Amino acid sequence: MPVHQPDESSSNPERVFPPAPVSVSIELIPCTDFPAPFHPLACTFVTDEAFRSARFPTTARFWQAPLAELLQLGQAKIQRAALVQALQESMEGLICSPQQARYLQELGSPQGVAVVTGQQVGFLGGPFYTALKAMAIVALAQRLGAFLNRPVVPLFWIEDNDSDGAEAGSIAWWQREGPAELLVAAPTAELQQPLTVAARSLLPGGQWEAAVERILSEAPPEIASLLRSAYRPGVSWSYAFLLLLQWLVGDAGVLFLRSSVARRCGLFIPILEWALSNAEQLHKALHEAESWLHRRGHTVQIPSAMLPIHFHTPEGYRYRIRQLPTGGYAIAQQRYSTAGLRELFAQHPTAFSPAALLRPVCQQYAIPTIAVVLGPAEIAYWAQLRELYELLELPMPMVTLRPSLTLVPPAIHRLLTRHGWNALQFLAPWHQLETTLLRSLPSVAAAEHRIAELRAALRQWYEQQLSDVHAVDPTLVPSLGATHHRIEQALQRWERRLRAAFRRRAELFLHHAQQVWWLLFPQGQPQERRLSWLQLSMLCGLESFRAALQQSTTLPPGVHAVLTVPGEAVASAPEPTARIAESPPR
């Protein structure tokens, strides 16, 4: 099928995000080989065409489908006026870019469709993969707009109906002289309350102030100004997060929809009303999907034992609606019959929101979604949704896996170069890496070789003596064994002392290694899941960081990339090539 070319006014993210540095280095690791493996179902999604066809039918045939069929995607009976209103309310107070204004107008038209991703609110911008998701929808919207010759809009769903304060209110921040520091917005007791993120604000004198001051001491002027604007007393966590994302991808046209606003605007009501009225059918569809996955040896990401709906109190607390074994439902300590729960919904429909398994169909009903960009864990629970989409007669959008990336900033690149290290070797547990690095030192290797020779000679001596002693006086055999054991213990003590001496000599060597490890694989976890994208933009330089985000959109699906940013002038870079797993057509 021929690719439909966009008109001259089409969005071009490269105008906002510069190309990658000319000497950028990219090494790719298949998702199945990454030291912190992708979710098994995400790996299956990438490598198994039959699985994609069974669980993600739109995805499996998207690029081969007739154009007329594709043009029907995202054309459900969307209440576009309500959607535009929710977007405008979500973005109230922002100075929208010309591209955002254009996309908002296009999404309000009958032909406009969206590429959607989303993420829970994160302190100081959230983890790095938040930025990767945002950039991915920019690139995919441009590509699909050219492919379909119609308006395709990138839309970021800010999940602030969630009540996980610990996740939304903390982020790891890399330090040169120690493990990553956990920066938090509020005390632990406050973070553990079941208060929605939308209802949380930056309180005067809160811990967030110390965290921001900690960053301002090392931030360049542009980011310092951004932080002072976003993090002020009285600003909601959700809005501060929005302001940082607006700075990052607002010029590229990304629209933002806050889930709390979508709830208040009633965008969830039709699907939630259906779910409450058809709870048995809903459970049957989800159970059928679970059974399909179990029969093929897969573990489901989210068990569907409970009704996937939450209730929000006027004070901002969120509670899961629990189905009781004796019948009826419970919200916190309050009990409801089936009729009573429906009556509560009829009285306060905007007090209800979907849980994870129901949120995708709520989004599909409210947003003309043609494609979604998901993380590995999200793809895992989306594998449970085909039957639910069919039951609701909603088209399932095309699903793509977000880019996965480890960034190597210039300072870390210099340390790697100085010691002759490769960034890939640092994607390992520290104890394993430390042993490998110490053994790489010539003096350690030579000493251990000599000790191994001595141990082998000792073992040979013992075996030779054993037969001789047994022939002379069998009663001396235990004494021989004890002597051999004492010598072996003494040798082990000596080996430990020798290693300690080498370790002291290699202190600077290991200190540099820890600095690298703490940034590339902090506490044994992927950088993209632990560290703030805001800090990585500071370490790489804003221009190089944005170029790296642009480069991430060219990666093959289902790989983890290690991208080195040497901090040089930007220019076009060749497409990355490396060993990769078989992947779906792009």
Query: Which residue has better confidence, 133 or 485?
Result: 133
User: Is 50 exceeded by the pLDDT of residue 12?
Assistant: no
Q: What is the DSSP letter of 153?
A: E
Question: Strands across the sheet with 329-331, in order?
Answer: 322-323, 329-331, 334-336
| Lookup: tokens for 63 | 């690029």
Statement to judge: residues 395 and 479 lie in one domain: no
Statement to judge: residues 98 and 148 lie in one domain: yes
Instruction: Give me the DSSP letters along 497-511.
Output: HHHHHHHHHTHHHHH
Among 505, 521, 547, the domain-final residue is: 505
Q: In which domain, by residue range, is 468 found? A: 442-505
Statement to judge: residues 383 and 491 lie in one domain: no
Statement to judge: residues 453 and 398 lie in one domain: no
User: Is 70 exceeded by the pLDDT of residue 582?
Assistant: no
Ranges of H-type helices in 312-441: 338-347, 359-366, 376-382, 386-391, 410-419, 430-440
Structural domain contains residue 384: yes
Rounded CA separation 322/37 (Å): 33
Structural domain contains residue 309: no
Structural domain contains residue 571: no
Structural domain contains residue 564: no
User: Is 70 exceeded by the pLDDT of residue 166?
Assistant: yes
Q: What is the DSSP letter of 299?
A: P
| Lookup: tokens for 460 | 């040979």
Statement to judge: residues 256 and 139 lie in one domain: yes
Residue 395's CATH number: 3.40.50
pLDDT tier at 138, thresholds 50, 70, 90: very high
Structural domain contains residue 372: yes
- Give the count of domains, the chain: 2
Q: Which tens digits make up the pLDDT trace of 487-532?
A: 888 888 888 888 777 767 778 888 899 999 999 999 899 999 999 9
Q: What pTM value is reported for the model?
A: 0.85
Taking the C-alpha atoms of 563, 565, 570 and 574 in order, what is their torsion angle to the nearest 10 degrees? -30
Rounded CA separation 136/115 (Å): 9
For position 327, what pLDDT does the model report?
85
For position 506, what pLDDT does the model report?
74
Structural domain contains residue 230: no
Q: Which residues pair with 399 in a beta bridge?
A: 372
Statement to judge: residues 55 and 148 lie in one domain: yes
Q: Which tens digits make up the pLDDT trace of 174-187?
A: 998 888 999 999 99
| Lookup: tokens for 152 | 């395709």
Structural domain contains residue 448: yes
User: Is 70 exceeded by the pLDDT of residue 404?
Assistant: yes
Cβ-based neighbour number of residue 515 at 10 Å: 18
pLDDT tier at 170, thresholds 50, 70, 90: very high
- 3-state SS class at 161: coil
Rounded CA separation 100/103 (Å): 5
* pLDDT mean over 89-107: 96
Statement to judge: residues 54 and 141 lie in one domain: yes
User: Is 50 exceeded by the pLDDT of residue 247?
Assistant: yes
Q: Which tens digits make up the pLDDT trace of 376-401?
A: 999 999 999 999 999 999 989 999 99
Averaged pLDDT score across all residues of the chain: 88
User: Is 90 exceeded by the pLDDT of residue 196?
Assistant: yes
Looking at 432-436, 491-495, 516-520, 565-569, which range is the least confident one? 565-569
Statement to judge: residues 365 and 495 lie in one domain: no
Statement to judge: residues 55 and 122 lie in one domain: yes
Taking the C-alpha atoms of 90, 18, 12 and 360 in order, what is their torsion angle to the nearest 10 degrees? -40
* pLDDT mean over 401-424: 94
| Lookup: tokens for 448 | 């251990």
Rounded CA separation 488/490 (Å): 5
Parallel, antiparallel or unpaired: strands 559-564 and 404-408: parallel
Statement to judge: residues 127 and 68 lie in one domain: yes
User: Is 80 exceeded by the pLDDT of residue 574?
Assistant: no
Given a contact cutoff of 8 angstroms between Cβ atoms, the answer to whether 263 and 312 are in contact is yes
Rounded CA separation 13/138 (Å): 7
Q: What is the DSSP letter of 22?
A: T
For position 115, what pLDDT does the model report?
97
Structural domain contains residue 68: yes
Q: Which tens digits make up the pLDDT trace of 446-462?
A: 777 788 888 888 888 88
* pLDDT mean over 565-569: 63
pLDDT tier at 21, thresholds 50, 70, 90: very low
| Lookup: tokens for 308 | 């996937």
User: Is 50 exceeded by the pLDDT of residue 262?
Assistant: yes
Among 505, 531, 558, the domain-final residue is: 505
The DSSP H or E segment spanning 374 is: strand 369-374
User: Is 70 exceeded by the pLDDT of residue 4?
Assistant: no
Rounded CA separation 155/63 (Å): 21
Percent above pLDDT 90 for the chain: 67
* pLDDT mean over 111-121: 95
Statement to judge: residues 42 and 113 lie in one domain: yes
Statement to judge: residues 257 and 156 lie in one domain: yes
Residues in the chain: 586
